[in-house]
Structure 1
Amino acid sequence: MSRRDSLSAVERRIRRIAVRYGLNLLKPQKPDPQVLRHGGYMLRDEETAKIVFGDKEYRFSASIDEIEAYLERLGAEE
């Protein structure tokens, strides 16, 4: 894995994209086993603090790839 593709680099890139849509990328401080198996991220609306993605069956249920796909869909709708 190159430095450009490291998880922290991907998270930074996703955070920058999310901010354009008024969203914050969240990840748990202490992930439980369920979150560690799959997921680990949520998107929250900056103004309302409402979770808009990543809490379907449990909190922090979205993977970084799912978050990225969600943001790409938002971009396609513009």
Structure 2
Amino acid sequence: MSRKEFEASRMRRMRRVAGRHGLTILTAEKLTAKQGKGGHALRDDESFKVVYGHHPLPFTATLEDIEAYLDKLEAAED
């Protein structure tokens, strides 16, 4: 397994991409019965509003969901 496949490496890479778009990745730290530990959401840095990962419940996006959303933002920029 290469280093770029580790979850910590993926998260750092996604945080950099999100930062370029004025977004912050939030991670739920509390353990919940429905989704376990560590759901994610994206927050706009200017308005502090959650723009992705809050429907139907807060912190429902997975890392794969966040990565796909950021990939779409990157593709739209090109």
TM-score, with length taken from structure 1: 0.87
Aligned length: 77
Q: Where does structure 2 lack aligned partners over 5 or more consecutive residues?
A: none
Root-mean-square deviation (Å): 1.7
Does structure 1 residue 11 correspond to structure 2 residue 11? Answer: yes
Match of 1:41 in 2: 40
Deviation sequence 1:27-65 (CA, Å, 0-9, x none): 01213122228x711000001000000001111101101
Q: Percent identity?
A: 42
TM-score, with length taken from structure 2: 0.87
Tell me the amino acid that sits aligned with residue 55 of structure 1: H
Q: Where does structure 1 lack aligned partners over 5 or more consecutive residues?
A: none
If each structure's helix is expressed as a fraction of its own residues, which one has the higher value? 1
